[in-house]
Amino acid sequence: MTETAELIDNDFLRQFELKVDNDMAVIEYSLQERKIFLTKMVIPDTIQSEDFEKEFLAMVFDNIKERNISVVPTSPQIAKFVRSNRKYKRMLPVGIRI
């Protein structure tokens, strides 16, 4: 489902966007110094699925990893994703545990 979709970092609205068909999934963030706080994830019911959520979050985390920024997940959904994906735990700032 996300293979052809392009992840957009809308820095004006401070959110990552992924458009699928006529719907858009969004992860809101706050950028402070060298940390990005992922605060809220909104996925429309029409595209909501566990697989889609995982793919969307993986795309966002890979994008952040390329920029060499630490991630602080403040949303329970996003924290759960980090807990279950060991490779993304390395992106947490020193002293942050999930």
pLDDT 10s digits, 4-35: 678 999 999 999 999 988 899 999 999 998 99
Question: Which CATH architecture is the domain 7-89 placed in?
Answer: 3-Layer(aba) Sandwich (3.40)
Write down the pLDDT at residue 94.
86
3-state secondary structure the chain: CCCCCCEEEECCCCEEEEEECCEEEEEEEEEECCEEEEEEEECCCCCCCHHHHHHHHHHHHHHHHHCCCEEEECCHHHHHHHHHCHHHHCCCCCCCCC
Per-residue pLDDT tens digits for 51-87 = 999 999 999 999 999 999 999 999 999 999 999 998 9
Say whether pLDDT at 96 is over 70.
yes
Task: Kindly report the pTM of this predicted structure.
Answer: 0.91
Confidence at residue 49, expressed as pLDDT on a 0 to 100 scale: 87
